[in-house]
Amino acid sequence: MSNLRFMRTFVAVARYGSFASAAERLAMTQSAVSMQMRALEEEFGHAIFDRVGRSIALNAMGRALLPHAQLLLAQYQNMRILASGIESPVGPVAIGAIESAVSALAPAVLQIKQARPGLEVSIQTARSIALTAQLDAGDIDCAVLVEPQGRRPAGVRWTPLYREPLVMLAPAGMKHALSARLLATEPFLRFDHTQRTGALIDRALRRQRIKVNEFLELSSIEGIVGLVRQGLGVTVVPMLRNATWAQEDTLRVVALPDVTEQRSIGLLARTRDDKVGITSVIAQQILAQA
């Protein structure tokens, strides 16, 4: 089991870019992370990181081993699902999700359904604010949504799943190198400012004093991206977890200098009913695949 823990730590270091960040995410000390990685290198007989001062980066061997470690952890997670409490009787499970997170949620649900074919699962989409209200009312058992701000009500558990950095999208034909120039001159397609994601985008633009050429406001990220593909403007949106925008011939993905805001996606679930076990498994399965 210790080797599996080491693999999980290795994947976390690769994902978050430093021993310190991985330690914070895994609730470990930085020295414990460093010790585990040195033990892993001794076991493999190869260095898997390049160390320059206090900075670390995967070397060629580390990059080669990473997908095997991820596969091993995913397979172990499937084993845990088969042996976990989802075999105990549980009624239908209602899951809420923001539309842009369904592509991350659906594969996790599929894995669970394969382990327990008789389990009834439904997925419904809505905005994060509406999903929080549905969870409070008991209409759904858990929700994959944008992290709520402020104090959370008692009786719910928040599990962080992944983060999505803000990027600018422009039609492929717009070759100007400066994102600020494109945002100031081209029609700006704004994501709904009343939603949590829209508020995050507005806050990032204001903080960097980036002025935009207002054009349209829409409530669907994919709807906005479709308009950008048609050459109707530019936008700032989260880089969706499973998006293939960078590989598309019709889109340019442009980094936003100095913009550090990221959208945090997680699972919000009730903790006072008989669905605690299954909602925990859903969160862990999404994490394993992420």
CATH node for 90-162+264-289: 3.40.190.10
What is the rounded average pLDDT of the residues 23-37?
Answer: 89
DSSP string, 247-287: G-TTEEEE--TT---EEEEEEEEESSSTTHHHHHHHHHHHH
**pLDDT above 70 as % of the chain:** 93
pLDDT, residue 184, reads 87
- pLDDT single digits (tens) 273-285: 777 778 888 887 8
Chain mean pLDDT for the chain: 87
Q: What is the domain partition of the chain in residue ranges?
A: 2-83, 90-162+264-289, 163-263
Instruction: Tell which wins on pLDDT, 181 or 207.
Output: 207
Question: Rounded distance, CA 65 to CA 58, Å?
Answer: 10
pLDDT, residue 112, reads 83
What is the rounded average pLDDT of the residues 153-158?
Answer: 81
CATH T-level fold of 2-83: Arc Repressor Mutant, subunit A (1.10.10)
Structural element, H or E, at residue 134: helix 128-137
- pLDDT single digits (tens) 119-144: 889 999 999 999 999 998 889 999 99
Contact 107, 289 (CB under 8 A): yes
Class of domain 163-263: alpha beta
Measured from the Cβ of residue 155, the count of other Cβ atoms closer than 10 Å reads 12
Give the contacts of 249 (CB within 8 A, at least 6 positions apart). 172
- pLDDT single digits (tens) 68-87: 888 888 778 767 665 665 55
Question: Rounded distance, CA 115 to CA 179, Å?
Answer: 47
pLDDT, residue 215, reads 95
Q: Answer whether 2-83 and 163-263 agree in fold.
A: no
- pLDDT single digits (tens) 174-195: 766 667 788 888 999 999 999 9
pLDDT at residue 213 greater than cutoff 70: yes
pLDDT, residue 259, reads 86
The angle, 0 to 180 degrees and rounded to 10, between the axes of the packed helices 102-115 and 276-289 is: 120
Instruction: Tell which wins on pLDDT, 26 or 37.
Output: 37
**Of 99, 129, 163, 116, nearest in space to 282 by CA:** 116
